[in-house]
Structure formats: structure tokens, C-alpha cells
Structure 1
């Protein structure tokens, strides 16, 4: 199966690229020369850029429409934990994925993965929603919470 770049992949396309389970959003790209270090390995900062690009795409594609009629939140990356599993090198194609695993009143946990035949890196991050003026936390609308539960299989985290 030919890999399509820069567009969401179907579950079958994701499986064909080695993913163990299809994710809500998966988009393929290729390692660029500017992302390499002196050993021709992908520089660690490139991973963060890839994850950031997909994180923004996830929110704009799936969450923003659920704020229809409401002010758009200010989204803040509270923390991010990257686990580098296996190196990536020049010319490799990869699939970046994103799905929400848990949520609270005004925040959610996003799991992201990078695949290139096998799992290469994983990032878990917490996103906090603020009012547009940054004055305080902005509760997730019920439509967003429902999306996280029904589509991503996320669970409500009560904080205990």
C-alpha cells in the first residue's frame, strides 16, 4: 500500500504502516535533511516539532468545530514527556498519531506516537484550556467531552 503524506490515514493504512491499533488521527511525513544531526539521526527537537504539528492539527480538526457559537479557548501545553524508543534516520517515512486518553474539567491528556515500521517515540502531554483572554481555566464544553469519550475512548479523570 502506497503511503499518503500530509493527509489523515485510514485505519487500514495505519495498520499497513505497522501501527498496532489505529488512532483517531494519523498523518504521514518524511524525515527532512534539516531535521538531522551530524550523525544523520533525527535531532531530538524535530520530534517535538512533529508532535506539535499533529497536536495542533488534532485540535483544529476535531475540537475547534465543537466550540461553535462559543469563544475559542486559548490552548496551553502544560507539560510534555517524550520517550525516545528507537532512532530515526535520513529519508525515513513516519506516521505521527494523536488521541486523547483522559480529560478533566478544563484539560486533557493527549498521547502521541511516531511509527516507522515500529514504534519510534511516544509523547504524553497535558493540554489546558484557558479563557481567550487568559484570565482563567475554560471548562471543556460537553460536546468536546463527548467526543473524547466516544471517539478516542478517553476516560474522565477525577483527579484522585
Structure 2
């Protein structure tokens, strides 16, 4: 298992058994406070995990700077699909990637891996806004990062 709470890139993910196309992630272990009455990870925790990963992804790839002055990355919609429960103390790796871009937004996918198996997947539509909450076009530099790092497609 790779070190916890450290951004993981392609080589580290492959070493941990995470397949392509995933190129960014982070490992951690389930904490007691993340459990529900059935002793597995509470549904809302996945949203927190994926939000934390998204912010680190934006920072690691320099996307705040590439978006222009004072960007606001706002989540418009999210979705989760639970495939298998994740239990107390389980080590896991969350991964994220951008899969598609539009003029002012991009779509992300997430997954949680436990022992090399996907237990949960997620999606988010993220809109880029100006300080006054008007939509801002994705810069060419931002688009290029999504293309180069994640193989995102233009919609």
C-alpha cells in the first residue's frame, strides 16, 4: 500500500494495482468517524473524500493558476454508485480524472479501490465561474492539462 494522504500519480497507482486510465489518486484508511450504524463507510463520506481529492487534483495540476485570476470551481451536480461496502479500518485508494470538457465546465469521474477492486464510483460536473458568479470559459492551458493528463474529450 502506498503512503497515506500523499498524492499518487501514474507509476505509484500502477504499483498499487490501479489500472489505466487512472493517473491521479490518494491512499488512506477508513476512520471510525466515517462509519455508519452498519459499521461500513457512510454514504456522505464518499462525497467528502471525492471533494478533498478534487481540490488536491486542482492544486497538483496547477489548475487554479491556469484558470485565470480568482477562479471559482463550483460543483453543479454529483453522483455516486455503490458497488461494495467498505469496512472499518480498510485501506483504500481514491482516484480522479477529467473525462470531458465543454466551454465553461468539465466532467470528472472518481473511484474507490479496496484491495484492487472498485467499491464505489462517482461523477461530478464542475463549472468554472468568475468572482461575480458569471460563467468563465476554460482556458486553452487548462484544456491542455485535461487532454494531456487524463485524455479528456471536448464535448
Counterpart secondary structure, 1:110: strand
Counterpart in the other structure of 1:122: 121
Separation in 2 of the partners of 1:141 and 1:130? 12
Instruction: Give the TM-score taking structure 1 as reference length.
Output: 0.89
Match status 1:66 vs 2:84:
no
Counterpart in the other structure of 2:48: 49
The runs of 5 or more residues in structure 1 that have no matched partner are none
Cα drift, residue 3 of structure 1: 2.2
Counterpart secondary structure, 2:96: strand
Counterpart in the other structure of 2:76: 78
Counterpart in the other structure of 1:20: 19
Instruction: Give the TM-score taking structure 2 as reference length.
Output: 0.92
Separation in 2 of the partners of 1:141 and 1:11? 25
Separation in 2 of the partners of 1:140 and 1:11? 25
Match status 1:98 vs 2:102:
no
Q: Say which of 106, 110, 113 aligns to 2:111.
A: 113
Counterpart secondary structure, 1:18: coil
Cα drift, residue 19 of structure 1: 1.7
Cα drift, residue 23 of structure 1: 2.0
Backbone CA RMSD of aligned residues: 1.4
Counterpart secondary structure, 1:140: coil
Moved over 3 A (4+): none
Q: What is the count of residue pairs matched by the alignment?
A: 153
Cα drift, residue 149 of structure 1: 1.1
Separation in 1 of the partners of 2:146 and 2:21? 15
Separation in 2 of the partners of 1:14 and 1:26? 7
- For the 8 Å contact 1:86–1:121, the answer to whether it is kept is yes
Separation in 1 of the partners of 2:11 and 2:59? 24
> Relative to total residues, which structure has the larger strand share, 1 or 2?
2
The runs of 5 or more residues in structure 2 that have no matched partner are none
